[in-house]
Amino acid sequence: MSARDRILARLNAAPVMNKPEPDVAAWFAEHRSEETPAEKAARFRHFIELAHAEVYSVSRGGWLQKLWEVLSAKQIGKLLVAPGTSHGQRAQSELSALGIDCPSYAEPIENWKETMFHDIPASFTAARGAIAETGTLILWPDADEPRLMSLVPPVHIVLLDAANIYNTLYETMQQEGWKNGLPTNSLLISGPSKTADIQQTLAYGAHGPKELVVLMIEENV
């Protein structure tokens, strides 16, 4: 018998204590009320700002201008982008003209890990959506916008469409049908990296981004 079989045999030999499945939906229906898109956007902003993120309200046409201003204000001359996406494509073509170096995440990380860790001051990705209740961004990294883009560069700039903000994590999972399949890696991000491990003193930029900037498209919201 393997360890697996022995463990399962012991569990199966234990008294059966079947409990009914609790009604999670009912709890959320009772304790969380629906909000308008504008209210959700405001709540999202409130909480993620509390967690030390910077949020800028932008328009669908105007976000690039804001991105440029943010980079200039932070004196960042290099931005990692994902040209396989429309926003990455736009950032790359327009920012390059303004003198910002916009390398692409074009190759598997093994080929350029050193550069990624030492030589990329900032990155730009989109968020799939967000959660108002906790001020949380939802990211599903993929071949175009790989996982490390939102983790290694010290500054992470995220484009979010406020039309995709949900009330709660529960509502997000329901409406997007997460149970039918998740990507290899999916992430909730609620601020820049932080720690309070030294004398309960809060410090930002522990291992992930030190700064998180959200460009929130608030048209029609």
Partner 1 sequence: MNAPQTPHALHFMPSAGFRARSKEVVDNPFLRQSFRGAMDFLMSKRAAQFPDPVELETLRTLGEQIRQYNLGKLPELLVQLESNLTRNGIQVHWAETPEEANQIILGLCQKHSAKLMVKGKSMVSEEIELNHAAEAAGIDALESDMGEYIVQLAHEKPSHIIMPAIHKTKEQIAKLFHENVPGVEYTDNVDALIQIGRNVLREKFLEADVGLSGVNFAVAETGTLCLVENEGNGRMCTTAPAVHIAITGIEKIVEKLDHIPPLYSLLTRSATGQNISTYFNMISGPRKAGEKDGPQEVHLVLLDNGRTQAYADEQLRKTLQCIRCGACMNHCPVYTRIGGHAYGTTYPGPIGKIISPHMLGLEATATMATASSLCGACGEVCPVKIPIPELLMRLREESFSAPHENPTMRGQGAGYNATVSAIWRGWAWVYRSPALYRLATWLGSRFNWLMPSKQGPWTSVRVPLKPAPKRLRDMLKERA
Please list every residue from 35 through 64 that binds partner 1, using CB under 8 A.
47, 51
Strand partners, 213: 54, 157
- Residues 100-119 within binding reach of partner 1 (CB under 8 A): 105, 107-109, 113-114, 117
Instruction: Kindly tell me which of 60 and 113 has the beta carbon lying closer to partner 1.
Output: 113
- Report if residue 129 touches partner 1, rule: CB under 8 A: no
User: Are 124 and 67 a contacting pair, CB within 8 Å?
Assistant: yes
Burial of residue 185 (number of CB atoms within 10 Å: 0-12, 13-18, 19+) = exposed
Which C-beta is closer to partner 1: that of 99 or that of 108?
Answer: 108
Query: Does 6 interact with partner 1 (rule: CB under 8 A)?
Result: yes
Q: Which residue has the tokens 């491990």?
A: 197
Contact 28, 186 (CB under 8 A): no
Q: Which residues make beta-bridge pairs with 160?
A: 216
- Phi, psi at 216, each rounded to 5°: -100, 115
Whose Cβ is closer to partner 1: residue 93's or residue 178's? 178
Q: Footprint of partner 1 on residues 154-193 (CB under 8 A)?
A: 168-170, 173-174, 178-179, 181-193
Shortest Å, Cβ 107 to partner 1: 7
Q: What is the DSSP letter of 80?
A: B
The closest of 163, 71, 135, 129 to 81, measured between CA atoms, is 71
Shortest Å, Cβ 153 to partner 1? 12
- Determine which residue in the list 142, 163, 164, 221 makes contact with partner 1, applying CB under 8 A: 142
Binding residues for partner 1, rule CB under 8 A, total 78
